[in-house]
């Protein structure tokens, strides 16, 4: 099976060299080191990544990355709940007359490019995995999800929700679930689950900002803009800038997201509130990105990306993530530097002590 | 017969709920629901039908049916909804959404 274009290194370094430099530091050397250092680190990184189970997580310049190729497939579930449905568009294939098909295809391609160019990642598994999506799932289905191997999109009921392919950050959100599954593997319950959700919102939002070429200050930080029909009073589904304010409407009620630990949801619904409490780490990311300034995907995004790929584990908590992102920010951008101070202050502002 | 239905989770994370007395519905709807509860074998379902590995952004449901002599609550994850229960959940979802 074609697993993308990564090749085994031709030279294998002595074993003791393989693990001495943490992956994110290796990545820095790849970005900033001399040509010889860079080459050595690239080899070392591919060996250690192979040994770690094939992850490819370094965030170097695109030129240093084995060139990946986009591979996409879009299926039409035709209103059934059988997956994947009928194959309707493949990589390089002609545009469909169906809007949802083209939206899913095009947004998946943007996410592929974003991950490859910004973080040097080849697809969601780091090995060029094909991105599969099914559209027209179910009847008037008000949802989109990741089933463990592909994206699935409903058409919405037309009264409250439009089709879910309409918002590019939704596509980025679903594909990030695939990345999380391949990396930290955050379990989908309580705090690890809320973090799983938050990473999907973070990289969904960063995809949108990257496509729109917006700085952290220019972005609206809304998740799912345009998903609600015009009759609903809403900016979108969630707000990373001001969790709890995305919608307030007589028909659907009010956005339940907390922005601070003091309002943490402790009930059992939604796997322990994974879509509710994600507001807290979402807001921490927003605060860090805005304090750092510039394009959010460059520094704050990289810190979160390295944490997700190299540091976080299945059961990581908010506090673990705070501690880890503060450490990674220091390692990547300087101990005691602006980025590290911004990340530290962001978690403090949402009531999470690292 | 009383029915209470709640849905949580999903990409939007919006809570959807409906609670009603069967007698408050029109005769045709009440009859249809009684049939759906019976087809689902509702009172014989386990209290929890949960997915081992949750699929991100899927819904979670909680249904309670209270009859004259018995009451039963079932919590079920969308990706493992038993086939015989799916039509009842579909019906209740539409009902909750239209209110």
**Predicted local confidence at residue A55, as pLDDT:** 37
Does A339 lie in the same domain as A320? yes
Higher pLDDT, B40 or A58: B40
* Centroid of chain to Cα A299: 15
Nearest to A143 among B6, B11, B53 (CB): B11
Q: Do A237 and B60 touch (CB under 8 A)?
A: no
Mean pLDDT of chain B: 95
Judge contact between A259 and A242, C-beta under 8 A: yes
Q: Is residue A65 part of a domain?
A: no
Pick the closest to residue A46 from A4, A105, A78, A91 (CA basis).
Answer: A4
Does A224 lie in the same domain as A129? no
The Cα–Cα gap between A56 and A232 comes to 42
Return the residue of A nearest to B99 by Cα: A251
| CATH number of the domain bearing residue A298 | 1.10.390.10
Does A220 lie in the same domain as A129? no
Residue B1, burial from CB neighbour count under 10 angstroms (0-12, 13-18, 19+): middle
Return the residue of B nearest to A180 by Cα: B56
Residues A100-119 as b/e (b if ≥16 CB within 10 A, e otherwise) read bbbbbbbbbbbbbbbbbebb
Q: Do B11 and A274 touch (CB under 8 A)?
A: no
Please give the share of chain B, as a percent, with pLDDT higher than 90. 94
Is a pLDDT exceeding 60 seen at residue A18?
no
DSSP state of A234: B
DSSP state of B81: -
Domain count, chain A: 3
Model confidence band, residue A6 (pLDDT cutoffs 50, 70, 90): very low
Q: Is residue A10 part of a domain?
A: no
Mean pLDDT over residues A287-311, rounded? 98
**Predicted local confidence at residue B27, as pLDDT:** 87
A36 to chain B nearest CA, in Å?
43
Judge contact between B6 and B17, C-beta under 8 A: yes
Does A337 lie in the same domain as A236? yes
Residue A92, burial from CB neighbour count under 10 angstroms (0-12, 13-18, 19+): exposed
Residues of A acting as catalytic residues: 174, 275
Whether A270 has its CB under 8 Å from any CB of chain B: the answer is yes
A95-148: pLDDT as tens digits: 999 999 999 999 999 999 999 999 999 999 999 999 999 999 999 999 999 999
Judge contact between B17 and B9, C-beta under 8 A: no
A169-194: pLDDT as tens digits: 999 999 999 999 999 999 999 999 99
Model confidence band, residue A32 (pLDDT cutoffs 50, 70, 90): very low
The Cα–Cα gap between A99 and B58 comes to 24
A48-105: pLDDT as tens digits: 443 333 333 444 444 344 447 999 999 999 999 999 999 999 999 999 999 999 999 9
Does A327 lie in the same domain as A301? yes
User: In degrees rounded to 5, what are phi and psi of residue A216?
Assistant: -55, -35
Whether A264 has its CB under 8 Å from any CB of chain B: the answer is no
Q: What 3-state DSSP class applies to A258?
A: coil
Nearest to A275 among B6, B9, B54 (CB): B9
Judge contact between A87 and A73, C-beta under 8 A: yes
Is a pLDDT exceeding 80 seen at residue A326?
yes
Higher pLDDT, B10 or A54: B10
- Here the ipTM equals 0.94
Instruction: Put the strands of the sheet holding B2-9 in their side by side order.
Output: B16-21, B2-9, B59-66, B71-77, B48-49
Residue A206 neighbours by CB under 8 Å, 6+ apart: A114, A172, A296, A297, A301
Return the residue of B nearest to A268 by Cα: B8
Return the residue matching tokens 């909750």: B96
Is a pLDDT exceeding 60 seen at residue A42?
no
Radius of gyration of chain B (CA): 13
Does A195 lie in the same domain as A328? yes
Pick the closest to residue A344 from A336, A134, B88 (CA basis).
Answer: A336
| CATH number of the domain bearing residue A155 | 3.10.170.10
Q: Is residue A153 part of a domain?
A: yes
Q: What 3-state DSSP class applies to A307?
A: helix
Nearest to A275 among B6, B13, B53 (CB): B13
**Predicted local confidence at residue B97, as pLDDT:** 86
Pick the closest to residue A155 from A200, A222, A93, A99 (CA basis).
Answer: A99
Residues A192-208 as b/e (b if ≥16 CB within 10 A, e otherwise) read bbbbbbbbbbbbbbbbb
Model confidence band, residue A30 (pLDDT cutoffs 50, 70, 90): very low
Model confidence band, residue A22 (pLDDT cutoffs 50, 70, 90): very low
Q: Is residue A205 part of a domain?
A: yes
The Cα–Cα gap between A341 and A299 comes to 13
* Euclidean distance between the first and the last CA atom of chain B, given in angstroms as a whole number: 20
What range defines the domain where residue A235 resides?
Answer: 190-349
Q: Is residue A1 part of a domain?
A: no
Long-range own/partner contacts, residues A229-237 (CB < 8 A, 24 or more apart): A229/A156, A229/A158, A229/A159, A229/A160, A229/A161, A229/A162, A231/A159, A231/A160, A232/A160, A236/A167, A237/B11, A237/B12, A237/B13
Does A47 lie in the same domain as A81? no
Q: What is the largest CA-CA distance in chain B?
A: 41
Range scoring the smallest mean pLDDT among A63-67, A199-203, A339-343: A63-67
* Euclidean distance between the first and the last CA atom of chain A, given in angstroms as a whole number: 43
Does A98 lie in the same domain as A41? no
Higher pLDDT, A48 or A163: A163
Q: Kindly list the residues of chain B whose beta carbon comes within 8 Å of any beta carbon in chain A.
A: 6, 8-15, 53-60, 79, 97
The Cα–Cα gap between A15 and A20 comes to 10
Does A122 lie in the same domain as A202? no
Does A197 lie in the same domain as A153? no
**Predicted local confidence at residue B26, as pLDDT:** 87
Q: Any idea of the CA torsion for A218, A325, A52, A73, to the nearest 10 degrees?
A: -20
Judge contact between A274 and A196, C-beta under 8 A: yes
């Amino acid at each position: 099976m074609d697993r993308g274009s990564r090749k085994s290194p031709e030279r294998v370094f002595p074993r003791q060299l393989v693990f001495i430099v943490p992956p994110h530091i290796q990545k820095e050397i790849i970005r900033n080191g001399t040509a010889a250092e860079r080459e050595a680190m690239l080899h070392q990184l591919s060996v250690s990544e192979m040994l770690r189970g094939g992850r490819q997580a370094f965030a170097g310049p695109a030129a240093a990355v084995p060139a990946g190729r986009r591979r996409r497939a879009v299926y039409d579930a035709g209103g059934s709940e059988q997956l994947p449905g009928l194959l309707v568009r493949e990589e390089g294939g002609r545009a469909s007359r169906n809007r949802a098909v083209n939206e899913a295809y095009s947004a998946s391609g943007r996410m592929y490019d974003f991950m490859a160019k910004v973080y040097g990642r080849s697809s969601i598994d780091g090995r060029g995995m094909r991105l599969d999506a099914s559209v027209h799932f179910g009847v008037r289905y008000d949802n989109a999800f990741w089933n463990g191997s592909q994206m699935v999109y409903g058409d919405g009921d037309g009264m409250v929700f439009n089709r879910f392919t309409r918002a590019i950050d939704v596509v980025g959100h679903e594909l990030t679930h695939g990345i999380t599954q391949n990396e930290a593997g955050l379990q989908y319950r309580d705090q690890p689950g809320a973090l799983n959700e938050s990473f999907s919102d973070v990289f969904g939002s960063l995809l949108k900002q990257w496509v729109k070429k917006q700085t952290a200050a220019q972005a609206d930080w809304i998740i799912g803009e345009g998903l609600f029909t015009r009759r609903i009073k809403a900016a979108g589904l969630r707000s990373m800038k001001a969790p709890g304010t995305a919608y307030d409407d007589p028909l659907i009620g009010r956005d339940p997201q907390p922005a601070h630990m003091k309002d943490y949801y402790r009930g059992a619904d939604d796997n322990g509130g994974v879509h509710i409490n994600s507001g807290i780490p979402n807001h921490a990311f927003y605060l860090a990105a805005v304090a750092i300034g510039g394009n959010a995907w460059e520094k704050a995004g990289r810190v979160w990306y390295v944490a997700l790929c190299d540091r976080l584990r299945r059961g990581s908590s908010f506090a673990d993530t705070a501690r880890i992102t503060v450490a990674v920010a220091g390692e990547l951008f300087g101990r005691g530097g602006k980025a590290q101070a911004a990340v530290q202050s962001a978690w403090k502002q949402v009531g999470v002590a690292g | 017969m009383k029915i209470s239905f709640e849905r949580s989770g999903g990409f939007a994370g919006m809570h959807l709920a409906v609670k009603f007395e069967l007698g408050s519905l029109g005769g045709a709807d009440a009859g249809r629901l009684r049939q759906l509860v019976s087809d689902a074998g509702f009172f014989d379902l386990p209290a929890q039908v949960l997915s081992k590995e949750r699929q991100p952004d899927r819904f979670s449901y909680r249904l309670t049916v209270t009859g004259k002599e018995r009451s039963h609550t079932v919590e079920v994850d969308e990706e493992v909804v038993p086939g015989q229960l799916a039509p009842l959940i579909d019906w209740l979802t539409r009902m909750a959404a239209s209110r």
